[in-house]
Amino acid sequence: MSAVAGSATLRDRPATGAHETRADIVVVGAGPAGIAAAARAADSKRRIVVLDEAPNVGGQIWRHRSPATLGSEARAWIDRLSRTNADVRRGVAVVDVVVTGDAGDITVVAERHLGGVDVIRASALVIATGARERFVPFPGWTLPGVTGIGGAQALLKQGATFRGKRVVIAGTGPLILPVAASLTDAGARVVLVAEQAPFQAVRDFAISLLGQPETLLQAAMYRLAFLRTPYAMGTWVTVASGGDRLTAVTVTNSRTTWSLPCDFLCTGYGLVPNVDMARFVGCTTADSAVAVDERQATSVPNVFAAGEVTGVGGVALALVEGEIAGATAAGVARIDPSLGRRRQSLWVVARRMERTFALRQELGSLARDDTVICRCEDVRRAAIASLADSRQAKLYARAGMGACQGRVCGPALELLFGWQPGTVRSPLEPARLSTLSTAALAGAASSDAVHSAGS
C-alpha cells in the first residue's frame, strides 16, 4: 500500500517525465543469470521487470543481432523468457536503487539511453549484473586500436568488421582462444595469441577439462591448431605504440622481447564481478564478489544475486544460480536439490580455473610514471604512487572520479598498489540532470512511504 502512495506522488508530478511501474520482482541484467531468474520467477506468476543496458538480451556471452546466430541453449532460454509475461526493457541504465528497510520496498531508477526515465517499484531485487574485463595498465594501452578481448568479441558481434586486420591477442584465461577463433573466422589475421599463464599451468588445466563438457574451448583449441595461429604461453605485451592509433606492440616471455606490427591489440586479464550496485545497496562482498547463501540471497533482505556477480564461473553456473535466485525471489519454498548440487560442482571447476590463470607479478609493474592509470581523468601513475589508498587517489588525484566510476582503474589500482575499491555512490552511471531530479523524487517518495507505513 505504501508503495502505491509513493507512486501516486510521482504521478502527480508529470514534469519529471518518469514512467513508473509496479512489479513483484525487478531483475537487473539480462545475461544468462538474469534470463534464468526472470524465466523461473515467471513460472510462479509474478510480475517481473528485467532491465539491461544492451540493445538485446543475452548479456556478453549470448550477445547477438539475430537469434539465428545463437546456439541452441541460448535460443531456448531467450525463447523461454519471451514466452513469459516479463516486461523486458533494453537500452536502460540503472542509476539509483533504494531499498527501504524490512518492508521489501525497492525502488529502481533507470535512464533510457536516448531519453526517458523508468521508475520501478518492486518487492524483490535480483542483481545479475555480470562481470567486466580486467584491464592491466601498460604504456600505450589508451591508444585507439587497443581493445579488450571480450571487447573485441563484443564489437565483432555488434557488426564491426575485422577482415584483413592484423590482430595481437594478449591476456589470460579461457576467453582468449574462442575470441581468437572467432576473429580468425571473421577474416582477421591473428598474428599472435599470448597467454600470460605459464605453459605447465595451461597444460594441466587443459588436461583437467578432458572430463568436462567445455566444448567451446576445446573446439577453439582445435581450430587454432588447424589454422596454425601462433599461441605462446608465459608471454605478455609490455608496450603498445603508435601516434594517433596503435601500430605495433612489444611482447616478452622474460627471456626474449620482440616487436610486432599490428592494427588491433585485444588485451584482457580475466573478469571482475560487477558488484557496484550490490555494494551500493549494502550487500556484503567476499573476494570481490557478492556473498550469497545457498538460495542466492545476499546479506540484504529481499535482494538476491546470481551469475558472475557472485564469482566468475561461466554460463552454466550463471544459469543454475539464476534459476535458484528466480525461484527464491518468487517465494518458492522448496527448490530442486539437483540445482544446488550442480551449482557446487561447477563452482569447484571455476575456482580451479581462477588459480590456473592467476596474474603474474610482472604485470603489476608495466606502467611507467607517465602511464595513464585512470583513463577517464587521465591520472598518471606518478600522481598516485605515493598515496595510501583508493580513497586518497580519488580525493587528491581524481582517479576513479570520471565517467566509468572507477570500473576500469579500480581493479588496476588493486593490482598495482593493493588498494581495495572505495565507496559506491549514486548515480551508479553518469546521468542527465533531469534523471537525477527524478531519482531524487523517487527516493523521497520511498521515504514518505516508509514514514506513512510506520506511523
Selected range binding other proteins among 53-61, 167-175, 212-220, 443-451, rule: CB under 8 A: 53-61
Which residue of 4, 5, 76, 160 would you call a contact of other proteins, by CB under 8 A?
160
Which residue of 18, 38, 74, 93 would you call a contact of other proteins, by CB under 8 A?
93
Alpha carbon distance 95, 424 (integer Å): 12
For position 152 contacting other proteins by CB under 8 A, the verdict is yes
Which one, 134 or 342, has the nearer CB to other proteins? 134
Show contacts with other proteins in window 286-305 (CB under 8 A).
Answer: none
Closest CA to 301 of 102, 127, 47, 158: 102
C-alpha cell at 239: 608496450
For position 84 contacting other proteins by CB under 8 A, the verdict is no
Selected range binding other proteins among 155-163, 317-325, 382-390, 414-422, rule: CB under 8 A: 155-163
- Residue 59 CB, shortest distance to other proteins, in Å, is 9
Selected range binding other proteins among 42-50, 156-164, 222-230, 322-330, rule: CB under 8 A: 156-164
| Long-range own/partner contacts, residues 278-281 (CB < 8 A, 24 or more apart) | 278/127, 278/129, 278/303, 278/305, 278/309, 279/424, 280/97, 280/424, 280/425, 280/426, 280/428, 281/97, 281/99, 281/125
240 Cα distance to chain centroid: 25
- Residue 130 CB, shortest distance to other proteins, in Å, is 9
- Residue 291 CB, shortest distance to other proteins, in Å, is 22
- Residue 281 CB, shortest distance to other proteins, in Å, is 20
- What angle, 0 to 180 degrees and rounded to 10, lies between the N-to-C axes of helices 315-329 and 32-42? 30
Selected range binding other proteins among 198-206, 404-412, 413-421, 438-446, rule: CB under 8 A: 404-412
Size of the site for other proteins (CB under 8 A): 47
Which residue of 73, 204, 293, 378 would you call a contact of other proteins, by CB under 8 A?
378
- CA 137-143-144 angle, 5° bins: 130
Closest CA to 350 of 323, 322, 325, 318: 318
Which one, 12 or 244, has the nearer CB to other proteins? 244
Cβ–Cβ < 8 Å for 353, 214: no
163-190 burial, b at 16+ Cβ within 10 Å, e below that, comes to eebbbbbbbbbbbbbbbbbbbbebebeb
Show contacts with other proteins in window 435-454 (CB under 8 A).
Answer: none
For position 142 contacting other proteins by CB under 8 A, the verdict is yes
For position 65 contacting other proteins by CB under 8 A, the verdict is yes
DSSP state of 143: S
Measured CA distances, 184 to 146, 171, 228 (Å): 17, 17, 11
Show contacts with other proteins in window 418-437 (CB under 8 A).
Answer: 430
Which one, 117 or 209, has the nearer CB to other proteins? 117
For position 376 contacting other proteins by CB under 8 A, the verdict is yes
Which residue of 115, 187, 331, 340 would you call a contact of other proteins, by CB under 8 A?
115
Which residue of 17, 71, 101, 144 would you call a contact of other proteins, by CB under 8 A?
144
For position 377 contacting other proteins by CB under 8 A, the verdict is yes
Alpha carbon distance 275, 270 (integer Å): 16
Cβ–Cβ < 8 Å for 153, 180: no
Measured CA distances, 202 to 180, 211, 358 (Å): 16, 16, 11
Q: With 0-12 CB in 10 A as exposed, 13-18 as middle and 19+ as buried, what is 338?
A: exposed
Q: With 0-12 CB in 10 A as exposed, 13-18 as middle and 19+ as buried, what is 341?
A: exposed
Which one, 346 or 412, has the nearer CB to other proteins? 412
Which one, 105 or 429, has the nearer CB to other proteins? 429
For position 404 contacting other proteins by CB under 8 A, the verdict is yes
Residues in touch with other proteins (CB under 8 A): 53-55, 60, 65-68, 91, 93, 113-115, 132-133, 135, 142-148, 150-155, 158-161, 244-245, 274, 372, 375-378, 402-404, 407-408, 430
